[in-house]
Amino acid sequence: MEDNHYQLLDGKAVSAQMKKEMAEEVAQIKAAGGKIPHLAAILVGHDGGSETYVASKVKTCEEIGFKSTLIRYEDDVTEEELLRRVDELNNDPDVDGFIVQLPLPKHISEQKIIEAIDYRKDVDGFHPINVGRMSIGLPCFVSATPAGILELLKRYEIETSGKHCVVLGRSNIVGKPMAMLMMQKTYPGNCTVTVCHSRSKNLKEMCLNADIIIVALGVPEFLKADMVKDGAVIVDVGTTRMPSSVTKSGYKLTGDVKFDEVAPKCSYITPVPGGVGPMTIISLMRNTLLAGKKAIYK
């Protein structure tokens, strides 16, 4: 196996740069007496991952200079109450964009909540109108993880046109939109896209054929070195909390790629943590800025 001296796709560094750019823009808006973008987030219950994500989103808002509002509910909140709150946010002219942190408790229909959100304030990009517009290449809010991955590829000037991109996973949040975006007539895009998942028979052969692999399965260390050709670009979306005796928190984030073994074969690869994660949060912020400026929907 040759060592390609891979380069890290450093999401932490790129997101820090984007944060700086956005903070400057918000300062200009403020100076001109414009409206400060306002993001609201609804958090239901006390899921550890959700708590962490939402706290990080609120903190990033502050650092950029956005206004943010966190609305908390206990696990036993009714669907009706949640829908009422969504309606309130839809009608609040000061709130430019808002998110409902998923997953929600079993007795609440996530789809019903998502569809109740005004698509013009849907900065998560989960509403069918945003998803539909994305699939036909119209301006829309692109969901944060795929948007973040595109930005990462762009800032590292990764060639995508005509390349074979394999997307592992078909979730509505990452796999499907990622495949759709990589096949669009844009940059990054213009790829030949193959989507593989748990039912795919010849998954290994597909991966060995890929110039770019985007792994979003949620299966720790799924992608091994024998599935990757030399010089491939690897984007690891996996973040599974694995118990760990060496970290203070008692767990460590593990990606879907067996990094130590795969990295030496790659031209570029994202680390976990510090790759796709920070890009996801910063992309939500970019959507919030776009919402505040009415850049997508007048």
User: Residues forming the annotated binding site for NADP(+)?
Assistant: 169-171, 239
Cβ atoms of 89 and 95 closer than 8 Å? yes
Q: Is position 101 annotated as part of the catalytic site? A: yes
Locus of tokens 């820090």: 16
Is the CA virtual torsion 215, 220, 225, 227 positive or negative?
negative
User: Which of 211, 293, 290, 276 shows the shortest CA–CA distance to 12?
Assistant: 276
Active site residue 124: yes
Bridge partners (DSSP) of residue 44 are: 73
Q: Which of 10, 19, 57, 122 is catalytic?
A: 57
**Contact criterion met (CB below 8 Å) for 97 and 67:** no
Distance of CA 147 to the CA centre of its chain: 6
**Residue among 122, 124, 211, 236 flagged as catalytic:** 124
Contact by Cβ (8 Å): 156, 187 = no
Q: How far apart are CA 12 and CA 60, in angstroms?
A: 13
230 is catalytic: no
Question: Residue 77 to residues 80, 124, 186, 273: CA-CA distances in angstroms?
Answer: 8, 22, 43, 33
Catalytic residue from among 10, 101, 176, 256: 101
The catalytic residues are 57, 101, 124
